[in-house]
A and B are shown apart, each in its own frame.
Chain A
């Protein structure tokens, strides 16, 4: 068994697609209209057949209190692996991305936490 799909709730699918592709650097994999929304997934260009990330509409009434509570305490919705957290931090901050946790070396891992502008915090991580 492998992880095929993970999802994040997003306020606005168009805005999310722009952030996840143009800023973070993922590529769009599937886009299927479903009513007013779309089944919209992105993948890493480094692993086009790897785990897909579903940009899922945040319309369900349970989503807002759930995400607000996570955001308040700084808890990421999910984590992405990068080669170098410090380099990504510099690159993304240069693009105006807001971080709630600057790069932090903790033994074998280095992490940072950013705001995806769609309602979520995202952790980036690399192993030393």
Chain B
């Protein structure tokens, strides 16, 4: 599970997808593709974006839900908290002002 997170975060396009999902939750594949192409000039195919989303989903960073005929993607930052907790220094809480 942890390795999946690092693999997912290692790619700049996938980090852009997470940035965009931070701005607006509940995006369709079409909206994510539109944001990547128009806001970031990333000319990648829908199939490629779909594969990036699958990697993010496998890492738990993106969750998808079906609503009627539609599929929306949401950001889930819980796995990132586990990364931070993994390397928490024992005395960190005491030194925090």
Interface residue ranges, A against B (CB under 8 Å): 68, 71-76, 100-102, 104, 106-107, 109, 111, 113, 121
Give A102 to B26 CA distance when docked, in angstroms: 10
Looking at the complex, which one of B24, B30, B38, B39 makes contact with A74 (CB distance below 8 Å)?
B30
Give A76 to B27 CA distance when docked, in angstroms: 14
Q: Are B71 and A106 in contact (CB under 8 A)?
A: no
B14 within 8 A of A: no
The number of residue pairs between A and B whose CB atoms lie closer than 8 Å in the complex comes to 50
Interface residue ranges, B against A (CB under 8 Å): 24, 27-31, 34-35, 38-39, 46, 50, 69-72
Question: A73-B46, A109-B38 are contacts. A104–B69 as well, Cβ < 8 Å?
Answer: no
Which residues of chain B are within 8 angstroms of A100 by Cβ–Cβ distance? 28, 30-31, 70, 72
Which residues of chain A are within 8 angstroms of B29 by Cβ–Cβ distance? 73-75
Which residues of chain A are within 8 angstroms of B39 by Cβ–Cβ distance? 106-107
Q: Are A72 and B70 in contact (CB under 8 A)?
A: yes
Q: Are B30 and A106 in contact (CB under 8 A)?
A: no
Across the A-B interface, give the 4 residue pairs with the lowest CB-CB distance, nearest first. A74-B28, A106-B38, A74-B30, A73-B29
Looking at the assembled complex, report how far the CB atom of B19 sits from the nearest CB atom of chain A, in whole angstroms. Answer: 14
Looking at the complex, which one of A68, A71, A104 makes contact with B31 (CB distance below 8 Å)?
A104
Looking at the assembled complex, report how far the CB atom of A124 sits from the nearest CB atom of chain B, in whole angstroms. Answer: 13
Which residues of chain B are within 8 angstroms of A73 by Cβ–Cβ distance? 28-30, 46, 50, 71
Give A72 to B38 CA distance when docked, in angstroms: 21
Q: Are A74 and B31 in contact (CB under 8 A)?
A: yes
Question: A71-B69, A100-B70 are contacts. A76–B30 as well, Cβ < 8 Å?
Answer: yes
